[in-house]
Structure 1
Amino acid sequence: MYRGKPKQSKVFHATAGKPLKKDSTDIFISTAAQSTEAATDTSFVISFDSKTLLDGTNGKVVEAGILVMKTSETPPTDPENVTDWDTWKNWYKWKNSGYKGSYRPTPQHYLLQARRRRSASPGESLTSYLVGVDENCDSEKDQFCNGPLEPDTAYMVVAVSCTTAGCTSTDPFGNFKTKPTSIVGAVVGGIVAAVVAIGVVVGVVVLRRRRRRKSEESDDDDEESQHEVEESVDKTVPRKITDFHEIVKDLYKDSKLLFTSEWKQLAAATVKHPAEHAVLVGNRSKNRYVNIMGYDHSRVKLLPLDEDECSDYINANYIPGYTSPREYIASQGPLSQTTVDFWRMIWEQKVPIIVMLTGLEENGVRKLDMYWPEEMNAPRQYGDLVVELINMSPLSKYTIMIFKLSLGNETRKVKHFFLPGWHDYNANLNEGDVIDFARYVRAELKPTDEGPMLVHCSAGVGRTGTYLCVDYFIQVIDNCDIEDEVDIFSYVLKMRNNRPFMVQSEKQYVFIYDAVKEMIDRKKKMLMGEQEENIYQNQGFVPEEADVENIYMNVQTGAAKM
């Protein structure tokens, strides 16, 4: 056997990025579990998932903790670098500013020290912390002190984690209220708070184990019966179409208080399902994010290769739609090592349309690996498939590409639509533009198309889930009577039953309501006699009646700028 020179390799350490933005409901345990009995007139208890907060996907977390503010205050913005962690007010400065803004009740390196202490028990992640228990803080002008809070006052909390590249904070969470001043409360409050804090952790652990045990006993093939939510949790919030405009107006009142309440209700009703295939040793590297795993019961299964038990896995799930329980595939953005699997899924599932909702990079952070050929009319091999970019049209508000896929003597065309500018965890686009884009994409589907539409962003849950809601409710509003009802809550819950975290932030949830309101307003105008072409026309989009082969003109060589 020939033995050549040993291969040499170099290790390059990638620079850290800011921690991944996390939803506050993924960090903090529901306020329903955090009994008000744990509060005193100067303190309250918070319980949160420290393991999720310390997620090091974008680099090692070097600082993490909690900020507290009154519910009337504006949430803090993410600092540019980790040194800003110390610039947040301590208790003394916060009190002497009239309790304006936020302050840090957790000491420096608090969670990092706790992580080291728990290194022998890696599964432990639930943490409880008493806010407002230190005394004599009036003398600690420049030092940390977890000082007392004002009695009978409502507070919010924000979780912050930092790498060397900067810090990321969650949205504000909760309505933690201190009790009115009482002599009894002052004496025993601290004892009660500590006991209840332990009870919170034990209760949540028991609840999670009970749900896990229940899921193991259920039939994996029975999607409807898996992991039933407790019957006390509402699963539907129907809204009459005729009243929808006023309903949305009410939801916006008091700083969107009712929106926040409904969003928390949605989190409480959401149930996690098993994702055992996603965590197999051979599949872990196929997941872009460690907390976004494809559920087993709804995952898209690739045709297995040889005898590799992991060759059928891809981080993608079927999502029910208006006409089919598998109308959509929601997928993470491909990694370089999963690009071949991505195209294999498109071919095997007979996908006619791909909708991409993220750029390759956002704010210097890699969100997606380029999975298509860079050059026009330059076929590229992806496994057994040959993919060729044959047409590309960068328009004013989106980009269209057409790919030719070949496997042996069989060829197909797949249309690709890229909607730029949609920020992660956000809903910064105009709802009318997204509606028009979704209408145009849907108009490109043919009755002969056999497979589902594939939609992806980076993780395939936030922007993807929001877009699927828009597309779904376009069909609902078009086909319903004006006296009917729509239920955004139940459809988001249905999506979450098939893939975790679908619609990832409250802002995205509010955006869906605004988009549905716009759809209803357009339908009302149409019913009042206005012509449909005047309702749905958007000058930034290609007219629906245009000849498809003529509009996809080669206006640029090379890859589209994403």
Structure 2
Amino acid sequence: MHWKKGSHRIFNYEYNPFSIIKIAKVDDAGNYSCHARNKYGPASDSAQLKVLSARIREKFHEVTANDSYKIPCDVSGGDRVVWRKNDEEIVLDNQQIYAGGNVNDPSLELKKISHLDRGNYSCETTYRSVTAKSTIIHLHVKDKPLVSLPNQMTEAIEGSNTILDCSYDSYPKPTKVFWKKDDKIIKLSDLTRKKYNGSSVEIPVLVIYDTTQGDAGKYICIVKNQIGTGYSQTLQLLIIEQEKNSSVTGAVVGGIFATLIAILVVIGLVVLLRRRSNNVTNRKPSRQETISNEENDELCNDGRGIRDNGLYLNVGIVSCSAAENIKPTTVPITGDNEYYNLSEVQSSCIRVEELKQYIEKKQRQEELKNEYKSIPNVAVHPTTHAQTKENMPKNRFKTTFPYDHTRVILESNGGSDYINANYVDGFEKEKCYIACQGPIKATVADHWKMIWQENVYQIVMLTNLVEGIKIKCEQYWPSGGKQMVHGNLIIRLNVEKERTAYVTREITIEDKKTSKKRKVTQYHFTAWPDHGTPDPLYLVLFHRHVISDTKAGHSGPLLVHCSAGIGRTGTYIALDALLEEGRTTRFLDIFKFLKKMRYSRMNMIQTANQYVCLHYTLLEAFTMKDTKIRKDKFSEVWMSISTDNRPVNHQRLDEEFKVQI
């Protein structure tokens, strides 16, 4: 018995009738026949072997806009060719845009390329149920910047600070960003910084301080790169006066009434303060007064109880109004006679409207730094799992460990269930954040396993891979055109966009066992200086992008990490949660939330400077006007504006815009 490929004999077998081809290649395709003979005569049969293959030789290509480019793909064996861009099948019906991409001409030609054509491309060929897929080629398109504004008209109240938003999409990186007002360039210098800010590659928005009628006009955002110059559409800025009462009589009556109320309030406060001054240390509060304090302190009280695992905190009920009159006391933190003065920060509950004055007052005496230092940077809960012999090598730093009671437990299936990560509660939400260390080489697979297990779809990264000469984080995502495989998970980078002070990456994760796919977006903030704190404006703009992408109804936690997962990570989580608290209640308790985070993960917000930075960033976030409108809401907003026939000073455009954001 023997085998033939075409007319050439290839195998001789005496007993085994099978022909086995190991690691089939394209050259192995052809007609195979099996021939046998016995005493009664010869017999044979044949079969056609198809070896499917799809191959793209390049991994990366750069092309200039308006040129054409043919992506070469070598295919064989199939009766159908499919091209994909970012994992989505390309429909090749439009011959003005595409050519080729079929069995006779498998290479795909892109005609008159634009920035919309950039992305990850792959080809595949199919025969019956068998498909061969190529590797990915990442196509970069060099084009002049695409510059956009969220709307064509906006209003600002006279005397307020206004932000004119501008975003760009540019490859290569832009070299210059500037604004024009009424066709005249706005030049930023030391003399004009009191009036303007932003207008740079890092911060393309234009911040106008203390707006006046002279700021009204037509604005254009302009971005330059090596290819050319991109212009935004024109933005019309209108400056409106603060609303005034049309009735003089009404104003007078209202003023008199307000004055009387103010006098009564002052008298009441004087009486109240004298009573408290005389009696606060000598008598117990009555039931009626206790209820009143609880009602006043509902937004300020930590509510965690007197002691938790040996950590003693001052949980006496103190209202925001009376806090400044309570004398500081010391309380024990541990049982070894070590004391910390916590009562200095009794008045940490702040009205959002008073945040600026609060910061100015505290900063004059460096009270914010002293407030931060009143909590020791020590572990106050057990970390036994992190310090076992098998888990210690998985920690980036040998002094930063996750607490046992809030650690993320991986589904182990008999293996290790450890990762240096903790759940952290937010404002009225449990386990809505995961704070973790930046992965090291040995934990990249565990990092992706946690992302899949916890249904994470947003990742906030707050460190660069290398800062100075130190490696801060392992690159845990694939580069363009490549993929990573960790266990059952395949990770692919679909799109990477470099923005002002951060990079966004759209990543697909696929489970090989179930073929399920998920899309995850990573927001990589790159403007946090080593051994420093970022510009609050940078951080606020970055945070606004993250929350603008948040999907309603998604139950997965937000994953936040830096290098150790405590300093920058704690600052960002506090910013996100406290903004939600302030917008919901109009009150803030920054110090209370710091303690709340440290219940979940050790040393969250690692330095006093980060704590101070958090205050200024919150101030920036609450006072910065956001004029963005979501794309899917723009037509609805525009219809409302265009059909509003009331006088301009009665059109509540600011309120309408804020509702849509």
TM-score normalised according to structure 1 size: 0.51
Partner of 1:279: 387
Report the alpha carbon displacement of residue 544 of structure 1 after superposing the two structures with TM: 6.3
What amino acid does structure 1 have at the position aligned with 2:382? P
Distance 1:246 1:396 in 2: 31
Report the alpha carbon displacement of residue 323 of structure 1 after superposing the two structures with TM: 4.1
Contact 2:408 2:418 in 1 (8 A): yes
1:370 and 2:478 are equivalent in the alignment: no
Deviations 1:392-427 (A, max 9, x none): 111122111111111131110000110102134431
Q: Secondary structure at 1:475's aligned position in 2?
A: helix
1:247 and 2:371 are equivalent in the alignment: no
Alignment of 1:101-500 (within 5 A): 225-231=308-314, 232=331, 233-234=342-343, 237-254=348-365, 256=366, 258-267=367-376, 272-306=380-414, 308=415, 311-376=416-481, 378-407=482-511, 408=513, 409-427=515-533, 429-481=534-586, 485-500=587-602
Contact 1:239 1:487 in 2 (8 A): yes
| Structure 1 residues 357 and 546: CA distance shift in structure 2, 3 A | farther
Unaligned runs of 5+ in 1: 1-221, 523-534, 538-542, 548-562
| Structure 1 residues 544 and 391: CA distance shift in structure 2, 3 A | farther
| Structure 1 residues 330 and 504: CA distance shift in structure 2, 3 A | same
| Structure 1 residues 389 and 546: CA distance shift in structure 2, 3 A | farther
Report the alpha carbon displacement of residue 469 of structure 1 after superposing the two structures with TM: 1.2
- Report which stretch shifted further, 429-438 or 232-241: 232-241
Contact 1:228 1:271 in 2 (8 A): no
Deviations 1:289-321 (A, max 9, x none): 001001000100000132x3xx10000001111
Distance 2:601 2:629 in 1: 32
Distance 1:546 1:279 in 2: 49
Report the alpha carbon displacement of residue 379 of structure 1 after superposing the two structures with TM: 2.6
What amino acid does structure 2 have at the position aligned with 1:289? F
Q: Secondary structure at 1:414's aligned position in 2?
A: strand
Query: Comparing both structures, which one devotes a greater share of its residues to strand?
Result: 2
Q: Secondary structure at 1:289's aligned position in 2?
A: coil
Contact 1:239 1:486 in 2 (8 A): yes
1:536 and 2:626 are equivalent in the alignment: yes
Report the alpha carbon displacement of residue 252 of structure 1 after superposing the two structures with TM: 1.3
Distance 1:498 1:514 in 2: 24
Distance 2:609 2:503 in 1: 25
Report the alpha carbon displacement of residue 245 of structure 1 after superposing the two structures with TM: 1.5
Distance 1:223 1:305 in 2: 39
Identity %: 31
What amino acid does structure 1 have at the position aligned with 2:609? K
Distance 2:306 2:423 in 1: 12
Unaligned runs of 5+ in 2: 1-304, 315-330, 332-341, 633-661
Distance 2:612 2:473 in 1: 26
Contact 1:443 1:544 in 2 (8 A): no
Structure number with higher relative contact order (C-alpha < 8 Å, ≥ 6 residues apart): 1
Q: Secondary structure at 1:273's aligned position in 2?
A: coil
Distance 1:458 1:499 in 2: 14
Distance 1:271 1:284 in 2: 16
Distance 1:424 1:229 in 2: 34
Report the alpha carbon displacement of residue 545 of structure 1 after superposing the two structures with TM: 2.4
Over 6 Å off, 4+ runs: none
Distance 2:521 2:535 in 1: 24
Q: Secondary structure at 1:497's aligned position in 2?
A: helix
Report the alpha carbon displacement of residue 433 of structure 1 after superposing the two structures with TM: 2.0
1:545 and 2:626 are equivalent in the alignment: no
Distance 2:491 2:516 in 1: 12
Contact 2:425 2:597 in 1 (8 A): yes
What amino acid does structure 2 have at the position aligned with 1:238? C
Deviations 1:101-152 (A, max 9, x none): xxxxxxxxxxxxxxxxxxxxxxxxxxxxxxxxxxxxxxxxxxxxxxxxxxxx
Report the alpha carbon displacement of residue 381 of structure 1 after superposing the two structures with TM: 0.5
Partner of 1:131: none
Q: Secondary structure at 2:611's aligned position in 1?
A: helix
Q: Secondary structure at 1:267's aligned position in 2?
A: coil
Distance 2:470 2:521 in 1: 27
| Structure 1 residues 508 and 443: CA distance shift in structure 2, 3 A | same
Distance 1:396 1:437 in 2: 9
TM-score normalised according to structure 2 size: 0.43
Distance 2:583 2:351 in 1: 15
Query: Comparing both structures, which one devotes a greater share of its residues to helix?
Result: 1
Partner of 2:128: none
Q: Secondary structure at 2:372's aligned position in 1?
A: helix
Report the alpha carbon displacement of residue 478 of structure 1 after superposing the two structures with TM: 2.2
Distance 1:223 1:351 in 2: 34
Partner of 1:134: none
Distance 2:499 2:578 in 1: 25
